[in-house]
Copies of this chain bind each other. A is one copy, B any other.
Amino acid sequence: MTRQLLDLATRDAPVLPRLPPSLGDHGRSAGRPPLAAARSALLEAIRPFGVTTTRRRGAQIFAEGDAAEHWYWLGLGAVQLCSFAEDGRRHITELILPGEFFGFEETGLRTATAEVVRDALVVGFPRERAEAAVDADPRLARALRDIACSRLRAAQARLVRLGSMGAVARVASFLLEMAERARSCDAAPVELPVTRDEIGAYLGLHSETVSRALTALRRRGAIELRARKSIRLLNGAALREGKGARARPGL
């Protein structure tokens, strides 16, 4: 894997991993080019300014409070954006997968920390120059706005899930989200870029509870636990059904 990363990093123009048509296209936006097109357009436009680097798991790309001097694009691996609650608990506000931009949402100081959770290929773009490029082309401005709004909708969808679903339902929801974003539908194994602990930080649960939820889903025949970070979704319907968990049929 590291080998592969280095190969890519040494090229001037890193190869675009195939971007599935609706990668992370939360909120089925119709009537405008799909999100992947917006990402491609933006990437093409600012690629000349990009500096490609490889980062190992655990590396910090930026920290809360830093000056936001760069935008980033993830080519390979996985990156988490996290904040810390007053009690010190780390909370993951977003998981970045290959092909996605991040770090463009602040204009002053970073409001979150970006950390590599799976060896990554990261391209950084100086913010000033990137913004100038975006200013110069309204289509790029729309693309960037669409990307930001897509993330906003995703965050709001996650708010609903956190607020209204029990532990098993959240985990099931997480698996479906990962499967969809990684394009590995149904019977194909889902490669989880994160540990149980990190899933918990993402879902507002603790690692033990995540583990129990996965066990429950396995016993239910919804999933198969292959390796530590590989899960096969056996029954999408069972996953989706197990979602009205916390309460009885309120309606």
Instruction: Determine if A29 and B162 form an interchain contact, defined as CB atoms under 8 angstroms apart.
Output: no
Residues 134-156 of A contacting B (Cβ, < 8 Å): 134-136, 138, 141-142, 144-146, 148-149, 151-153, 155-156
Question: Chain B nearest CB: distance from A204 CB in Å?
Answer: 3
Instruction: Determine if B162 and A244 form an interchain contact, defined as CB atoms under 8 angstroms apart.
Output: no
Instruction: Determine if A163 and B162 form an interchain contact, defined as CB atoms under 8 angstroms apart.
Output: yes
Chain A interface SS verdict (over half): mixed
- Among the stretches A41-49, A107-115, A210-218, A226-234, the one at the interface with B is A107-115
User: Any chain B CB within 8 A of the CB of A219?
Assistant: no
- Among the stretches A9-17, A50-58, A86-94, A187-195, the one at the interface with B is A86-94
Return chain B residues, CB-CB under 8 Å to A31. 67, 107-108
Instruction: Determine if B91 and A159 form an interchain contact, defined as CB atoms under 8 angstroms apart.
Output: yes
Return chain B residues, CB-CB under 8 Å to A93. 156, 159-160
Q: How far is the CA of A32 from the CA of B89 in the complex (A)?
A: 31
* Chain B residue nearest in CB terms to A165: B85
Residue from the list B138, B141, B243 in contact with A145, Cβ < 8 A: B141
User: Any chain B CB within 8 A of the CB of A157?
Assistant: yes
Interface centre among A30, A108, A149, A246 (most CB of B within 10 A): A149
User: Any chain B CB within 8 A of the CB of A251?
Assistant: yes
Instruction: Determine if B153 and A109 form an interchain contact, defined as CB atoms under 8 angstroms apart.
Output: no
Q: How far is the CA of A87 from the CA of B165 in the complex (A)?
A: 9
User: Any chain B CB within 8 A of the CB of A177?
Assistant: no
Q: How far is the CA of A94 from the CA of B163 in the complex (A)?
A: 13
Q: How far is the CA of A158 from the CA of B162 in the complex (A)?
A: 10
User: Any chain B CB within 8 A of the CB of A175?
Assistant: no
Return chain B residues, CB-CB under 8 Å to A28. 108-109, 111
Question: Chain B nearest CB: distance from A171 CB in Å?
Answer: 14
Q: What are the interface flags for A77-100 relative to B under an 8 Å C-beta threshold, 1 for contact and 0 otherwise?
A: 000010101111101011000000
